[in-house]
Structure 1
Amino acid sequence: MKENNNDVLPNNPTLDDVARYAKVSSATVSRFINNPAVVSERSKIKIEEAIRILNYVPHAAARALASNKSRMIGVIVPSLEDALFGGFLERFQNMISTEGYTTIVASSSFDKNKEHAQINEMVSHNVDALLLVGLSRDNSIYSLLNKKNIPYVITWVVDDRGEHPCAGFSNEVAAAKIADYLMDLGHTKFGMILGDSKSNDRAYGRLLGVRHALSRRQLSLPDELIIERPLGVEYGQEAFRILMSRSDRPTAIICGSDPFAYGAFFESKMLGISIPEDVSITGFDDTWLARHLTPPLTTLRTPQPQMAKLAAQYLVSRLRGNEVEPPPILDVELIVRGTCASPS
């Protein structure tokens, strides 16, 4: 459809204006706006061009009222301060946008009470579904979502009890993988830097995985060599200083997240400690900086593209009214680079 310069374009175009320009019915335009998948490709092209020419923006409240759907999916992540969740969010949003949905994103700052309030706020604004990170929250939240028939999916974890749908991986298995790798290099003295294992189930799973891996080879991880801190490079620096000041200091430090490993790496330069000659360091997540350090960081690559895809597919299927199986458990890949070596 070509724009006719002689046409007088309305200042505040309506759905009916779009229908007239596209030469389709108003009902077809409404279906396109609320559920693009049910409209033929030919009609889609005509409607999209009419919307572009008219600069038509659907009224969100009217759409929600007409369809009883907001076409919004709420996403709450623990932090937006680093790159960890950015790529995941972009992939997730790209996938759901093809189905006519958009995202509302909030950061809980690793605060359970804040997350609870954010969930209630999103529910009050009629989000159609929710994506959450981790399982560490009050069961009343799940009761609320089930009562209101709001589909949800949990990421970055798996639910061993099978009570909640998850698009994620086993933090315990992943952490055990990197502990096994370090023990195969000959390490027997370990330290660990991680988040709060009491409130963060991902951190707890990673701690459990390391301890179980060590115990299978008759080794242990003493409490005094476990440093729990808020997520951040500066906290990794602090924790590294503490660990390396011990009289019987570790030869390998397992970090529960890449920012902790970055902090340990930077602090080692300040202290004149050589990596990996004096101490081996590992990360978790394989964020963008890991491969650019000198030496580059050995870490675990979490399956963020697959998590985003499976989470989006699960929620969209649920929103279509389909009964679907929870996503499969994903694997985490050990990325061996240059920050690990056999102990001196």
Structure 2
Amino acid sequence: MEEFSNPPTSEVPKLSDVAALAGVSTATVSRCLNMPDRVSKKTLKSVMDAIDELGYSPNYSARALAAGRTNTIGAIIPTMENAIFARGIQAFQEELQNNGCTLLVASSSYRPDLEEDQIRTLTARGADALLLIGYDRDPQIYEFLEKRRIPTVLTWAADRTGKHLSIGFDNRNAMKALANEVIAKGHRTLGYISAETATNDRARERVEGVWDAMRAADIDPASLRLVETTYSIENGEAAFEKLMADDNPPTAVMCGNDVLAVGALRAATAQNLRVPEDVAITGFDDIELASVAPIPLTTVHVPHRRMGQLAAQALIDTLNGLKPESVELPTSICRRNTL
């Protein structure tokens, strides 16, 4: 006959407290939690009722110690202030959940030093693997992750070195394709609103893509009017005003993402400029904001959800001992009303 624990007395309920209230052994409670199909419906109901009454939560730390894995994946994104990363991270989380994993998210505010601290903190707290945005970071960080044997996937960019697992797209060629269309519309005097390019590989490659298109059209890349700022609608608005204050203002303003482009649209409206008749404006990312802007925005569509799904699958496969390959996803141009 099974021996049962004494009535629950602890402030924080334990497995033994659940067993005592349900009138079963601790082994039966464990089976109900881990293999519910192997216990009777009556027993399962008794145990789950006891869990609800006590507010019991399983000790995942103890499980992780025994298994050598926490089933927790970390993701560090540059910002949570706009929707640039929302779709991809949502799909990433959904795929992790389908595989029994939990997501922890941190924001680096586009600061390399803060991202490094977050990488170390998440790994110290037991993250099995990490999703990172882009590849521009101190090589010592990659060395740290390799020594700790923390699988990492780089997203929102394609790693050309082949050193790192990446699920992303070619920022340079994607922006070059859009710039080709801008130039084909007859625009030769171009402006560009970008994030800071020194430590942001995605922003830098998008600017390089515009330069590539200008060279191909025999336009001097040095003539590109470039304004660098941080991502926000207000900063996009201010950058557009700066560009248009020039004695020879651009006839087309390309933006490093849709958030900046919507700011540029707002500034154009305030200056009574017709878009695209007086000035063309383009974005990048194709977030929801682009299609609901006062003038629907011509932009580059990024397959955010597919990227998030494949990134999660790649990390799960790596944790299971497989060696997934990097994937470069295609982008496309969304032709709307601003070009």
Deviations 1:272-326 (A, max 9, x none): 1111110000001111121112321111111101110110000001111222222
Distance 1:181 1:21, change over 3 A: farther
Aligned equivalent of 2:131? 131
Distance 1:242 1:316, change over 3 A: same
Distance 1:26 1:133, change over 3 A: same
TM-score, normalisation: structure 2:
0.87
Contact 1:22 1:50 in 2 (8 A): no
Aligned equivalent of 1:118? 118
* Partner Cα separation in structure 1 for residue 243 and residue 39 of structure 2: 61
- Runs (4+) of structure 1 exceeding 4 A deviation are 15-30, 41-52
Letter in 2 for 1:99: N
* Partner Cα separation in structure 2 for residue 130 and residue 252 of structure 1: 39
Aligned equivalent of 1:335? 334
Deviations 1:40-85 (A, max 9, x none): x945997997775423422122122111212211110000001111
* Partner Cα separation in structure 1 for residue 243 and residue 96 of structure 2: 44
Distance 1:217 1:23, change over 3 A: same
Aligned equivalent of 1:14? 15
Contact 1:130 1:150 in 2 (8 A): yes
Q: Which SS does the other structure have where 1:334 is aligned? A: strand
**How far off its partner does 1:29 sit?**
6.2
Distance 1:163 1:272, change over 3 A: same
**How far off its partner does 1:90 sit?**
1.6
Distance 1:228 1:25, change over 3 A: same
Contact 1:191 1:221 in 2 (8 A): no
**How far off its partner does 1:14 sit?**
1.9
TM-score, normalisation: structure 1:
0.86
Letter in 1 for 2:207: L
Distance 1:91 1:70, change over 3 A: same
Aligned length: 324
Distance 1:253 1:52, change over 3 A: farther
Aligned equivalent of 1:267? 267
Deviations 1:257-285 (A, max 9, x none): 11110110001111111111100000011
Q: Which SS does the other structure have where 2:333 is aligned? A: strand
**How far off its partner does 1:213 sit?**
1.3
Distance 1:221 1:45, change over 3 A: farther
* Partner Cα separation in structure 2 for residue 220 and residue 309 of structure 1: 40
Contact 2:19 2:47 in 1 (8 A): no
* Partner Cα separation in structure 2 for residue 45 and residue 171 of structure 1: 55
Aligned equivalent of 2:308? 308
Distance 1:93 1:51, change over 3 A: farther
Identity of aligned residues (%): 34
Root mean square deviation, CA, Å:
2.8
* Partner Cα separation in structure 2 for residue 283 and residue 51 of structure 1: 55
* Partner Cα separation in structure 2 for residue 43 and residue 246 of structure 1: 75
Aligned equivalent of 1:36? none
Q: Which SS does the other structure have where 2:328 is aligned? A: coil
Deviations 1:233-253 (A, max 9, x none): 111111101111111211111
**How far off its partner does 1:331 sit?**
0.8
* Partner Cα separation in structure 2 for residue 129 and residue 219 of structure 1: 45
Which stretch shifts more, 56-65 or 266-275? Answer: 56-65
Contact 1:254 1:281 in 2 (8 A): yes
Deviations 1:113-142 (A, max 9, x none): 010011111111121000000111111111
